[in-house]
Structure 1
Amino acid sequence: MRAVDSYDYAVVRVVPRVEREEFVNVGIILSCGASGFLQARFALDEARLRALDPRVDIDAVRRHLDAMAAICAGTPDSGPIGRLPPRARFHWLTAKRSAIIQTSPTHMGRCTDMAATLDHLMRRMVLAPE
């Protein structure tokens, strides 16, 4: 049986008009220090975003989310932050900021399958109910 590992996660939010503090959950960043797992998954619902701000720059939002995914993956084009250890990247990505892309406070849990947990969190926290 696989050992149970602790993980941390944050919900990624798009806040199209920061002064109004309204947001749409668009993704999850999940990190496990013991296994070195760090992954982000996104589902951008343009209609929900446009309901908050019809002028939101969807292309800019996509570029920011793509950059977050690249940093999580540590790809060569992710810059100096992408070269940090996985836990340092997670903490950088989840640092409090006042911008169009924000994250929730960090939460923690325990599981045996990080990928399945990421799927579960996406269904529960991001995707619209069916």
Structure 2
Amino acid sequence: MPAHCSFDYAIVRVVPRVEREEFVNAGVVLFCLEQDFLGARVELDRTRLRALFPDVDLPLVEEHLAALSRVAAGGEGSGPIGRLSLRERFHWLVAPRSTVIQVGPVHSGTCVDPARALEKLLDRMVRQPAPPAP
């Protein structure tokens, strides 16, 4: 049986009106040192975001969210931050910001497969369940 390893994660939020402290969860960043894994997945619910802020600049928000995924992946097109170590990139990704794109507090967990844990967190924290049938 594969061994469990620890990981740290944070939820990526879109905060269209910082002063109102309303947000939409839009992604997850997960780091597992033991398995050399850093991943960021984003799925923006445009309808929910527009409900909070009808005039939001969706293309700009989506570009900033995509940048988080590029930095997590590293390599070509990720800029100077993308050339840092996995640990350094994770800490950069979860650093506090006062902009429209923010990251919640860092939490910990354990898993066997960090990519699967990232997907489960995305399901639980970002994706909205279908409304119950009438």
Asked if Structure 1 and Structure 2 have the same fold, meaning a TM-score greater than 0.5 normalized by the shorter chain, the answer is yes
Separation (CA, whole Å) in 1 of partners of 2:58 and 2:85: 30
How many residues get paired?
A: 130
Q: Map Cα deviations across residues 61-107 of structure 1 (whole Å, 9 max, x no partner).
A: 11101111000000311111000000110000100110000011000
1:88 aligns with 2:88: yes
Question: Could you list the runs of 5+ residues in structure 2 that have no partner in the other structure?
Answer: none
**Percent identity of equivalent pairs:** 56
Question: Which residue does the alignment assign to 2:42?
Answer: 42
- Let me know the Cα RMSD of the aligned residues: 0.7
Separation (CA, whole Å) in 2 of partners of 1:86 and 1:43: 22
Q: Runs of 4+ in structure 1 displaced over 4 angstroms?
A: none
SS at match of 1:122: helix
Question: Which residue does the alignment assign to 1:31?
Answer: 31
**Retained in 1: the 8 A contact 2:33–2:87?**
yes
1:17 is matched by which residue type in structure 2?
R
SS at match of 2:16: coil
Question: Could you list the runs of 5+ residues in structure 1 that have no partner in the other structure?
Answer: none
Pairwise mapping of residues 81-120 of structure 1 onto structure 2 (< 5 A)? 81-120=81-120
Question: Which residue does the alignment assign to 1:72?
Answer: 72
Separation (CA, whole Å) in 2 of partners of 1:108 and 1:4: 13
1:9 aligns with 2:9: yes
2:34 is matched by which residue type in structure 1?
A
